[in-house]
């Protein structure tokens, strides 16, 4: 991969500073679009501080809630009442208190299978977008938030799984997860996630160091292959950086 194709690496001092930097990027993307805005959220623990900030008194006034729609890049196939449900976490931390109910777009899990859920969510995304084919000149999302798991997965696209190679469908069912929690998943695919102005990864803490080292070495992993058609940013903190570059960035 040519150096020009590399994501932009931004290093924050610690997890707090990283969440602040992420909130700045979210609100900058919102400010750049005067009409309807689509943001694709992510699950896991990494975005929680960002979600807390976006719902806080000092930040929520910067978001035109009546113009922003909130989607989710992957979901654990568990009921919305289950604490593992990704969108339920985002709803509880900041969405339910701020966003109009019709602007929150969860992946349905009260449905018979992950495949059915994937088809229903693809339909919802297509209706929102107004077409069944993605036009590179008209991104589906303004911003896609992402995280990277210890095996190099992102969203629920696990290394070596066939769903990573999907080129046609926007959303897929994933019968078995590669890492905990071992529940079936539903995930947007690489082409659907790529259809955005910005893809923003958050990786903080020493636990992320081994996987960030592999990503920086350009291993063939889903988190490396996930790229925006616009800008891709890896926002990391000092603790996640490999020893040899820590303190130099």
Residues that bind ligand 6PG (CB under 6 A): 42-46, 74, 76, 86, 147-149, 153-156
- Measured from the CB atom, the residue of 38 and 41 that comes closer to ligand 6PG is 41
Q: How far is the CB of 96 from ligand 6PG (least distance, A)?
A: 19
DSSP-derived secondary structure for 108-176 = P-SSS-HHHHHHHHHHHHHHHHTSSS-BTTB-SEEEEEE---TTS-BTTB-TT-GGGG--S-SEEEESS
Q: How far is the CB of 156 from ligand 6PG (least distance, A)?
A: 6
- Measured from the CB atom, the residue of 45 and 217 that comes closer to ligand 6PG is 45
- Measured from the CB atom, the residue of 154 and 189 that comes closer to ligand 6PG is 154
- Measured from the CB atom, the residue of 57 and 146 that comes closer to ligand 6PG is 146
- Residue 38 and residue 58: Cα distance in Å, rounded? 22
Residues constituting the chain: 249
Torsions phi, psi of 23, nearest 5? -65, -35
Element housing 30 (H / E): helix 15-31
């Amino acid at each position: 991969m040519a150096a020009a194709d590399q994501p932009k690496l931004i290093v924050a001092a610690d997890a707090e500073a990283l969440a602040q930097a992420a909130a700045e990027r979210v609100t900058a993307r919102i400010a750049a679009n005067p009409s309807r805005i689509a943001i694709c959220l992510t699950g896991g623990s990494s975005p929680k501080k960002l979600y807390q900030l976006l719902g806080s008194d000092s930040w929520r006034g910067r978001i035109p809630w009546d113009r922003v729609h909130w989607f989710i890049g992957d979901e654990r196939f568990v009921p919305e009442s289950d604490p593992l449900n990704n969108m339920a976490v985002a709803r509880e931390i900041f969405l339910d208190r701020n966003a109009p109910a019709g602007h929150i777009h969860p992946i349905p899990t009260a449905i018979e299978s992950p495949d059915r859920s994937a088809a229903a969510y693809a339909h919802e995304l297509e209706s929102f977008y107004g077409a069944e084919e993605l036009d590179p000149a008209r991104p589906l999302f303004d911003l896609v938030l992402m995280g990277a798991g210890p095996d190099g997965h992102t969203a629920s696209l696990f290394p070596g799984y066939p769903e990573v190679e999907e080129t046609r469908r926007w959303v897929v069912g994933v019968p078995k997860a590669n890492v905990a929690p071992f529940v079936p998943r539903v995930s947007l695919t690489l082409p659907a996630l790529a259809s955005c102005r910005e893809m923003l990864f958050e990786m903080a803490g020493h636990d992320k160091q081994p996987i960030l080292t592999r990503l920086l070495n350009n291993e063939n992993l889903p988190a490396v292959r996930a790229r925006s058609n616009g800008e891709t940013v890896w926002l990391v903190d000092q603790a996640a950086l490999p020893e040899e570059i820590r303190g130099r960035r």
